[in-house]
A and B are shown apart, each in its own frame.
Chain A
Amino acid sequence: MLTAAIIIVVVALLIFVFIYNGLIAKKNRVKSVFSTVDVLLKKRYDLLPQLVATVKAYMQHERGVLAEITEMRAKAVSQKLSNDEQVELDGKVTRMLGGILVAAENYPDLKANQNFLQLQRAMNEIEEQISAARRAYNAAVTDYNNAVEMFPTNLAARLMRYRIKKFFEISPQQREAVDAGKLLQS
């Protein structure tokens, strides 16, 4: 009788350890992927001054947008932003950049410029990588949220006070198709 009870207790403890470690692993995964997203975002912010400099001479009409981009970059680089603020800023910058690259189609001189072409490739690549990182982040968060909400791991999660995390979402206003016309006028 006693041995049976001991075995049950030991097995229960082992299961709990397993679940506990699993939750911690998932939480850390979310953190580590976010830090990679961070690194990629910084890489993009580093490319922005180059883009603005190359494009400024040609794109007279987009001066306003370019100034905004420079401003946003300064904000991102200088201040310490919370994760949510980072996400929001990222959304804004993506939208502005999209607008610039669309507007560039109207400037054949710019399109012939070797510097711009190389930059465009580099920007495409970094955008694609950021997109991949966002997706990986959302996958890590889904995994973590599943563990926090599903039985039986949710019991341990409640004990550890783990809450569900937010996804890298695009807010409704950013989801509007990039209105190149509007952007060009600003």
Chain B
Amino acid sequence: MKTLKDFEEFYNTSLAADLEVLEQKRRQLVRKLLIIGAALLCAVIVVIFLVGRSQSETRVLFLFPIVAAVALVAAAALAVASKNYVAEFKSFVIGKIVRFVDEDLIYEPNSCVRQSTFVLSKIFTTEPNRYKGDDLVHGKVGATRIMFSEVNAERVTGSGRNRHRYTIFRGLFFVGDFNKNFAGQTIVIPDTAELLFGRIGQTLQSLNVFRGQLVKLEDPEFEKDFVVYGSDQIEARYILSTSLMQRMVEFRKKAQRDVYFSFVGSMVFVAISYKRGLFEPRIFRTALDFEPIREHFEDLQLAVGIVDDLNLNTRIWSKE
């Protein structure tokens, strides 16, 4: 496990040079953006001016599509330029940080965990119809194969005026090989009802038929934080040993956000909710700041650390 100190050293020796180069490119990009922005503003002013002055309606009609076309071309150029910068940032900076965290991990900036895998976890009961993500990392940490990426899953319903966009999940989605064999499904989600309603909350939770049986466990801290649904009471307890429950509570404290777990098909799924985007460069602020880079490192470390935090490399049972 690499510490923050190790990372600081790494930053000073390896990353700083790349960041200087990137900073130059970023400045160029910002300059381009400002120029195009200014040009667009001028075009809009000209249009307004001409509209104010002209009597003929047809002349105005000509102007609008031209301005629109110019705006579109400008936007496209901006998008391409930004994309290039982002791609370079990811490949040089994020890629290096990933390899620093663990040499055997592979980073694919434009891929993400597949939607079918996301749905397989059964953590969220709503099926997404808008699904995207990026920054896929995969490989083997010790004896455990892992894969994680940023995921943004939404459900859009209705059309026109009634269009409603509901965010199912946004954040880091992790899939790993679990260290025990099992056949059914066990889902562990943050416990909001118990917090609010106590015992009545528990009754309400047990009535939630879509999720399977409610499993009440013995660890009081764990029960306060999470609610468990499973296909089998004994299997749920086989998976959620007393030590794993403590580890999950600790992990949630460490992540300081909503964390969802599920155990399906001898794999463990962990979904960590984030409000901000992950592993994206800041375009309008300097690239030479240590803070955002440290944040990227800590986000990666949190995900890769799941293997140790949940003790997935302890393989003393029948699964190797």
Contact = CB atoms under 8 A, between A and B. Distances in A.
Contacts of B155: none
Dominant secondary structure of chain A at its interface with chain B? helix
A131 B241 CA distance: 9
Contact of B318 (A36, A121, A132, A139): A121
Say which size band chain A's interface belongs to: 10 to 19
B209 interface: no
A113 interface: no
A33 B237 CA distance: 13
A121 B237 CA distance: 18
A130 B65 CA distance: 74
Interface in B216-240: 216-218, 233-238
Nearest to A118: B318
A122 interface: yes
Nearest to A36: B234
Interface residues of B, number: 14
Dominant secondary structure of chain B at its interface with chain A? loop
A143 B203 CA distance: 12
Nearest to B240: A132
B316 interface: yes
Interface in A81-140: 120-122, 124-125, 128-129, 131-133, 135-136, 138-140
B318 A125 contact: yes
A121 B218 contact: no
Contact of A139 (B218, B238, B317): B218
A136 B234 contact: yes
21 contacts: A33-B234, A120-B316, A121-B317, A122-B318, A124-B316, A128-B180, A128-B238, A128-B317, A129-B234, A132-B234, A132-B238, A132-B241, A133-B234, A133-B237, A135-B218, A136-B233, A136-B234, A138-B218, A139-B233, A140-B233, A143-B216
Interface of A: 33, 36, 120-122, 124-125, 128-129, 131-133, 135-136, 138-140, 143
